[in-house]
Structures are given as structure tokens and as C-alpha cells.
Structure 1
């Protein structure tokens, strides 16, 4: 399981990375809001451990941004802010758990396990449409039984369509879910990714998976 740690204190960050790695987690540790955004653009994670006091912004605002853009993976806030108001605000913004500092590694690991159990049971882990099979937990895509390699953004794009099969999705809605709100959603970046995705998964020439709705967006048919 892949975990992203967002923690600016070097000593604590190294401790968390080593502790989770020793329990068979694949760990990426970053120390700022921007590094966290970049990490999520590069690959998908199963859970995030998020500090609130970061050098280039507030972790709560980062959490708000993630939830607004459609990132639904478990987020555990790990913070020295221990008052009730901060806990309530963090949970209301979309955190799945809140663990105050100082803490024990054993409790942190137990909370991560609990989050993953709740998260995996709360959603379908395999989505299927026509000849496409998308495995959310395994992060794999099969077309007619054959594995297809997708980048993290291509995978996220396909997941949105698979979860909304038959629905016409506006360009702005798709873009806001794939890229954070601060990106310019009026560029042709979405068209570039749609072209790449079609090349990889649209394997039946006379029965295309995607329809382009001119001036509106796209539809998985």
C-alpha cells in the first residue's frame, strides 16, 4: 500500500517514513504543500498522513483543495493542534481521522489499518463497462482481458468516466477533478489526455467508447 506523508519536520518525517516502511508500506515523504501537489500528480496513493503547519500553506486548505478536486482517498491529519475546534474543522473539511501529536507509532499504524478497511468496504473496488475492467485497489486496467498501462492521470480520467458511464460530463467538471482548481481548465490539456486515453482503450473502431459532445464535454457510451 502506498502512503504519502506530508510533514515538514525532518526528524519526524524520517521517523514516519522508516516506521511505515518497516511495516511493508511504500512511502513517499514530502515537506510542503507544493511538493504534496506534485506527488499526487505523479502517482496515486492509498492514504495520506497530513500535517497542518506547513511552510508554504495550511494543511487544512490543502485538504479542502483535494476534496474539491475529487480526491477521495483516506486522509489522516497528524498535528500539534489539539483543540476541539481544529479537530472539528479538519473532519468537516473531509479528513477521515485526526491524531494529535505526540503520538505512538503503534496507534498510527492501527488507525491507518482501520481507515483502509473502512475505505475499501465503502466503494466498489472494480469497475466494468463493456470490454473495460478497472481495478481501483490494484490500480490496473484490462481491455478484453489484456493489461493496459496508463499513467496516473489517464487512470484517474478513465475512473471518472467509469463511475459516470452514460452521463455527459462537462469539460470543466472533468478538469477540476483531474487537476487542482488553480490550473487553467480552459486549455487544451484535457483534449490531449483524452486523445491519449482513446489511443490506449478504444480498441473497436466501429464502436468507440467515448463521444465528444461539441462545446460541452465527453461521454462514455
Structure 2
């Protein structure tokens, strides 16, 4: 049974979420303030965090950013009535893995929780040095042979995903499920668009290509050729 910490100050909302999580087979615990959540996180391990932004004693993103700086990589779903594009980007850049604006349908929240929990349970080093690449995941920065790569958050997630699987063919379905969190394959070329931008940034003219397109199958991160 997966363990989830819900950080939400509205008692009614918290009760509804806890009931839905329990019905879906999850062991969910509730904290109503940042202070209570911090105390709980100091003594317990969780598989997922669900946190509101506007809490009585501060901003939920501040807690999330502190956890990421400390090397804590537990997946986090951010909830907030602040639903503008800028707010969603801020939530993801603070370390959120997904962002769900309020009001929301509980069935969508459960679907997003399950998508986050399906992601690979792999070692989450926050600094990766692979060949000429240097990824600082906490700072959200990447370089190739000292050259800064101006990567968007999704592009950094894609590169992180690929460098952990060198030499393996990474299919579009794998990327849609593990990076985007889709449980189905939509009729879209979103993977190819993002991968095209990522390849142009990582493999500049004159560089040895690190990311290859395998026709009809997907992509490979390859240091061997």
C-alpha cells in the first residue's frame, strides 16, 4: 500500500481527498500546516506528497523547494486555487511533479496520483555527470562540456530520463507515460516536438550526437558511437 501525505488546511477538502485516496487503496495521512507537515516528514517516509500552496503558516512551495534542496525527491502534486500559467510554471520549477488547479474533480486527482506513482522508482541523484553532460536537477541547470544548455523544465526531465538509460531504445509510449504521466497514447506529436528541441540544444553543430532517433521505434542516448 502506498503512503501519501496530504498537506491541506481546508478540513472539508482534506476529508474528501482522504476518502477518495482510501477508496483507491492508498494509505493517506493529513497535515493542516507547514509546521505539522515538516514534523511528519522528519520521522516518516512517503511515496507521494499532495500539497496546497496557500497554508496558514506559509507558502507550500517554500516547503517543497526546501525538500528538493535537501535532496528529497518524493513525487509531489501541487494543489492550488492559483491556476494561471505563471502559477503553474512556478509550482513546477519549485520542484512539483504535477500541478492541479482548484476546483478539481476528485476522479482527476486520483488519476494524477496514480500516474505519478507509476513512474519508475529509480535512484534520484540530484547531480548527474555523464560523458560531457552535467545535470544539476535541483538548480534546474544543464551543461555540455561547460556550455550552458537553456533547457525548459520538461526538456530537462526528458534529458534526465534518457541519461539514466544509456544505450536503451526509449519509445514514445515510455516517454508519454513516465515523463508526461499519460496512461494512454494521445494522437499527438508532443514527444517528437520536445525531443526535436532537446536534440538541437544538446547536440549543437560540430558536436558528437548524443541523442539518436531510431526510426519507427523511438530514441537512444548513446555515448558509444
Distance verdict in 2 for CA 1:134–1:127, change over 3 Å: same
Matched, 1:65 2:119: no
CA offsets 1:98-150 (integer angstroms, 9 cap, x no match): xxxxxxxxxxxxxxxxxxxxx9xx63221122211111222210111132221
Matched, 1:180 2:186: no
CA offsets 1:159-189 (integer angstroms, 9 cap, x no match): 1101111111111101222223167444221
Shift of 1:44: 3.9
Unaligned runs of 5+ residues in structure 1 are 73-118
- Does the 8 Å contact 1:6/1:50 carry over to 2? no
CA distance, structure 2, for counterparts of residue 214 and residue 49 of structure 1: 31
Matched, 1:210 2:204: no
**Counterpart among 58, 69, 80 of residue 30 in structure 1:** 80
CA distance, structure 1, for counterparts of residue 97 and residue 213 of structure 2: 35
TM-score normalised to structure 2 length: 0.56
Matched, 1:16 2:58: no
Match of 1:134 in 2: 135
Root mean square deviation of aligned Cα: 4.4
Matched, 1:56 2:105: yes
- Local SS of the residue matching 2:178: helix
CA distance, structure 2, for counterparts of residue 65 and residue 20 of structure 1: 25
- Does the 8 Å contact 2:92/2:98 carry over to 1? no
- Local SS of the residue matching 1:218: strand
Distance verdict in 2 for CA 1:47–1:211, change over 3 Å: closer
- Local SS of the residue matching 1:43: helix
CA distance, structure 2, for counterparts of residue 186 and residue 168 of structure 1: 21
CA distance, structure 1, for counterparts of residue 9 and residue 193 of structure 2: 35
CA distance, structure 2, for counterparts of residue 16 and residue 182 of structure 1: 31
After TM superposition, the structure 1 = structure 2 runs for residues 1-221 of structure 1, keeping only pairs within 5 Å, are: 7=8, 9=10, 16=55, 18-20=57-59, 30-31=80-81, 39=88, 43-46=92-95, 55-58=104-107, 59-68=109-118, 70=119, 123-181=124-182, 184-203=185-204, 205=206, 207-221=208-222
CA distance, structure 2, for counterparts of residue 219 and residue 152 of structure 1: 20
* Length, aligned pairs only: 165
CA distance, structure 2, for counterparts of residue 71 and residue 40 of structure 1: 23
